[in-house]
Each structure stands twice: as C-alpha cells, then as structure tokens.
Amino acid sequence: MSSSKFHRNIVILGSTGSVGRNAVQEILDHPDEFTVVGLVAKDNLPLLAEQASALHARFALTTDSRHLDDLARLIPPDCQALAGEDALLDLVAREEVELVLCAIVGTAGINAALAALAMGKTLALASKEILCLAGELVLKAAKASTGGLVPVDSEHSALFQCLQGRQPQEIAKLWLTASGGPFRDLSRDRLAAVTVKQALEHPNWSMGRKVTVDSASLMNKALELIEAHYLFSVPESKLGAVLHRQSKVHALVELIDGTLIAQLSAPDMRMPIRYALSYPCRLPGHATRMSPLDIGQLDFAPIDELKFPALNLARQAIKAGGTMPAVLSAANDVAVEAFLAGKLPFTRIWDVVAKTMETFSTEPQRDLKQMLAIDAAARGRAKGYIARSLTRAIP
C-alpha cells in the first residue's frame, strides 16, 4: 500500500498527554493521511480545545462530565463537546472510526480499548498498564477482532517490527533495552536518599511524571516485560532486558540460529507513534532521523537486579500469571504516587510492590469486573501497607 493511497479516520484517547501531543503533531504533519474524528482528555480543556481546532476534529470529549459546559465554550463551533464514559464508548464505536489510539495514562481507557476491539477497530495501544491489568482479556479480544492491536511503546514497536515475517519456533529470546534512567550509576545506598526532582530528570527521554519515575526505578522495564509477554505470547524464560545507555537500539530479537535482529532509531517517540498510526504503511516523517554515521558507539551491559529489583518482581508476576501482573501494576501506581507526594522513599517503591504481591494468591483472568476488583483490592492493600509504614516511622 503506497502512502499516497493511505488514509485513516482516528480517535485519540489522552490527546493532551505526552504520547497524545506527539500523535497530534504527527497528524498535523500528515494532514492528507489522517482525519481526526474525536479527541479525548480529562481536564486540560484549553489544550484539548486548541487541538480540536488545529485538527478540525468533529468531537472533543472530556472524561469528567463536570467539565462539559466549560469544554463547549472553548471548542470551535464546528466541533461537538461530549463528556463521560458512555459518550466515550459511543465515540470509539462510531462507524467511520478506523483506529483508536489509547494513550490515557494508567488503566482508565480499558473499557474504550476493549470496545474499540469489539467493534473491529485497530487499537494502537500506548497504555502498558492496560495489558498489565488484563492482558489475557485484551489479547483475546484482539485476536477475535478484525482490527487487531498495534503496540506504541518504542520497545514493543521495535519488537513488532523485528518480528515481521518470523515464525514463533524461530524465536529464542526477545530483548528489551533500558537506558537505566537517572540513577543507573548510583549505589543502592545512595538511591535511598534520591529526591523527586532527581527522579524526574531522565537523561534520554521526555515523558510524564509517572512513567519517568517508573523509568528511574526500572519498573517501567518490568511493566514492559509483562507487556511483551502478552503481546508476543512468549514465556518469561524468553524475555530479557539489557542496559543500553544510548537508547538507539530499542529492542532485539534473538533467533534460534544465533542471529540478532535489532531495530535502531533516534530516541524520539514520534517514530513509533507514526508507525502505529499508519501500520502496515510507513509514512515519511519530520522526527529526528539517524544515519549510520550518527550511531557512534553502542554499549550494552547487564542490569544490576539487586539494585533494581523491579525486573525480578515482573518475572514473578509473569510466572504466576492470571491476576498477579495486575497486582504488581496497581501496587506500583500507589507507591509512585506516594513517592511523588513525598510520603515514601524511592527505594521503598519496590518494597510496597513486593509486600502487596505477597498478600495475593493467583486467580485466572475471567472478566473485566473481576480484574477491576483485583486492581482496587491491590491499591487498597498497598495504601494500607504505606500507611502502616508511616505510622511505624513516627517516634
């Protein structure tokens, strides 16, 4: 399919977030290839209205119904304001919508993501927590859908590209790369005293606060291992992660004959976003380009999993299967929130996740109601553990 014949009608969930803003810029760079049916955000109404105007979106939706009147006053007259969960589900189900980009932080977009798949839309998924919450349910829906699922994360987009044309029996291992975040050279003793400001100073990427803290703790890589497990149907034993400071190699596929296939590009999220929006086409782009002469030295090193125990926690969750990845993800959300609020030391993030996981036994994933209940229970237990820890810390 040539790019000149390519056109797609899309909805962006989370358009005012980091991934959403980059997606908007990609669409502005390709006005003939995309029509924006709808944009969705929660409370950054001025930016949502600005995006709706620039993209000539037919609908702008706030997930908080209290903001409907405010949104209606801000958007242009040819755009309709919507609000609430029911309106969101109706929006993604519209007949003309072909692709839904789910870039809402966390699990808030899971109902819309499942609805999109059920209606035969292509789901471009950037919210890794959705797969951690209910990966088995989402992949079951994707396999039954005529639209299918395309990953947006740079690492999973890289694996997705490297695996094109490969058969499952050819795969020896999938390797994710990790920049190591801002604390890759700190000792474990010094990690205990790091500040929120330091955790938010990522050396390679510009991201939201939660994912930046996850990158600093390597919990982001742990969640990505779980995501890869579901996306590519591989067991824990065939998943690896390696430290790669330059963030130019985003993933590698190791084949059974010893061949390594790698995907390289500049550390610019606009590239995997563009590929997800246009797959199976490739569109030219204005994002950072990289020639072989720009690559320079590439360094790889093992990750110190004693200093960064997040990866081991992810392996435990994958092996346990069922509901355990959801427990890990929910507990991490709570712990990161407490760290950002100054209520929890950085190194205690892993402790909260580990202690919460210990209190749950694994159940098979049955339906979304069950998984949301597990998510809520894990958040409650993580908050309780943090509260008890704070109480004990008071003299």
Is residue 256 one of the residues assigned to a domain? yes
The mean pLDDT value for 348-366 works out to: 97
Residues 310 and 339 in one domain: no
The residue among 151, 184, 199 that closes a domain is 151
In a domain, 273, yes or no: no
pLDDT of residue 108: 87
Q: Do residue 9 and residue 106 come from a single domain?
A: yes
Number of domains, the chain: 3
- 132 in the same domain as 30: yes
| Per-residue exposure over 123-155, b if at least 16 CB sit within 10 Å of its own CB, e if not | bbbbbbbbbbbbbbbbbebbeebebebbbbbbb
Is residue 275 a part of any domain in this protein?
no
**Which of 118, 151, 184 is at the close of a domain?**
151
Task: Encode pLDDT of 304-330 as tens digits.
Answer: 989 999 999 999 999 999 999 999 999
Measured distance CA(215)–CA(153) in Å, rounded: 13
Tokens of 350: 């892993």
Asked if residue 196 belongs to a domain, the reply is yes
Question: Is the entire prediction scored with pTM above 0.85?
Answer: yes
| Residues 393, 338 within the same domain | yes
- CATH (domain of 97): 3.40.50.720
DSSP secondary structure string for all residues of 47-94: HHHHHHHHHT-SEEEESSGGGHHHHHHHS-TTSEEEESHHHHHHHHT-
292 & 364 share domain: no
Domain coverage including residue 347: 321-395
Instruction: Check whether 1 has a pLDDT greater than 50.
Output: no
Mean pLDDT of 246-258: 96
Residues 241, 350 within the same domain:
no
Mean predicted lDDT score pLDDT of the chain: 93
The reported pLDDT for the residue numbered 203 is 62
For 175-197, the pLDDT digits (tens) are 999 988 888 888 888 888 888 99
Same domain, 170 and 144: no
Q: Answer whether residue 274 is part of any domain.
A: no
Task: Answer yes or no: do 174 and 93 share one domain.
Answer: no
In angstroms, rounded to a whole number, what is the distance separating the alpha carbons of residues 268 and 261? 20
Lowest mean pLDDT among 63-67, 142-146, 182-186: 182-186
* Same-domain status, 141 and 264: no
Cis-peptide into 280, omega within 30 deg: yes
Q: What is the per-residue pLDDT for 162?
A: 97
pLDDT at position 3 is 44
Here the CATH number for the domain that contains residue 387 is 1.10.1740.10
Residues 22, 170, single domain; the answer is no
Mean pLDDT of 41-47: 95
Query: Are 115 and 184 part of one and the same domain?
Result: no
Q: How confident is the model at residue 205 (pLDDT cuts 50, 70, 90)?
A: low
Torsion of CA 200, 202, 206, 211, to 10 degrees: -60
Domain boundary pick from 316, 339, 374: 316
The pLDDT of residue 107:
83
Above 50 in pLDDT, residue 109?
A: yes
Indicate if 9 and 128 belong to the same structural domain: yes
**Has residue 163 got a pLDDT over 50?**
yes
